[in-house]
Amino acid sequence: MSSELTRDGVMKAVFPALDGFAPSTAPASHAAKRAFDLLLGTALLLLFTPVMMLVSLAVALESPGPVLFCQKRTGQHGRTFPIFKFRSMRVMEKGGEVRQAVEGDDRITRVGRIIRKLSLDELPQLFNVIAGQMSLVGPRPHAILHDEFYGTRIAGYALRQQVKPGITGWAQVNGSRGPTPSIETMRRRIALDAWYVANHSLALDIKILIRTPLAVLSTRNAH
């Protein structure tokens, strides 16, 4: 048995959702998702422009520093891209460690705490969607250092990179939102991401988008 088949067997044992799964290569399917992202992403950007202007002003007035936070993330097929968020902290992550925000984190500003709870800090990622680096729906992209850390500890971690990362995703609407303080917490998120990769469709994306506002309003695990 080849090493490739052995790896496939291991992946399907770890993630049963992948049984019988082969990544879709149909141009029509990709084109439909891209068209959906462009049309709805542009509409949402226009709709939320007043909100984004207010958030920008609040961030700028509360603490010195740039309004936007930019960080390299890993996207589809392992390609990196700059992700944009509204700055919600007084300090920017530097060096060889990226600390996840936790409840009561003193790095987070008062404005930052509000926009993180409501996921308003993610709105600039609509530009990433329009640029084709992200999708409205897909596995949330993690910091590169986190990809390197968990990639060596969780089997099948890289499966999530077979599709474009998203602003929202199947994991987020199923309670896996916010910090991942343990390997088991991250493993559950990766299992949900793997399920999405194996089952993604335009209909599922619409279902996730409909469920997203309720997940955001619950503010569960959002710090």
Residue 109: pLDDT over 60: yes
Mean pLDDT for all residues in the chain:
84
Taking Cα atoms as reference points, which of 205, 68, 63 lies closest to residue 124?
Answer: 68
Identify the band that residue 108 occupies on the pLDDT scale cut at 50, 70 and 90: confident
Identify the band that residue 88 occupies on the pLDDT scale cut at 50, 70 and 90: confident
Averaged pLDDT, 81-94: 82
Q: What are 111-120's contacts with CB under 8 Å, separation 24+?
A: 111/55, 111/58, 111/59, 111/62, 112/59, 112/87, 112/88, 113/88, 115/55, 115/59, 115/86, 115/88, 116/88, 116/222, 116/223, 117/219, 117/222, 118/216, 118/219, 119/216, 119/222, 120/51, 120/55, 120/86
What pLDDT shows up at residue 100?
62
What pLDDT shows up at residue 28?
63
What pLDDT shows up at residue 26?
60
Averaged pLDDT, 72-77: 93
DSSP-derived pairing of the beta strands 135-137 and 166-168:
parallel
**Is residue 45 helix, strand or coil?**
helix
Tens of pLDDT, residue by residue over 172-214, are 999 887 777 889 999 999 999 999 999 999 999 999 999 999 9
Tens of pLDDT, residue by residue over 20-74, are 555 555 666 889 999 999 999 999 999 999 999 999 999 999 988 899 989 999 9
Query: What's the whole-model pTM score?
Result: 0.81
What pLDDT shows up at residue 8?
47
What pLDDT shows up at residue 1?
40
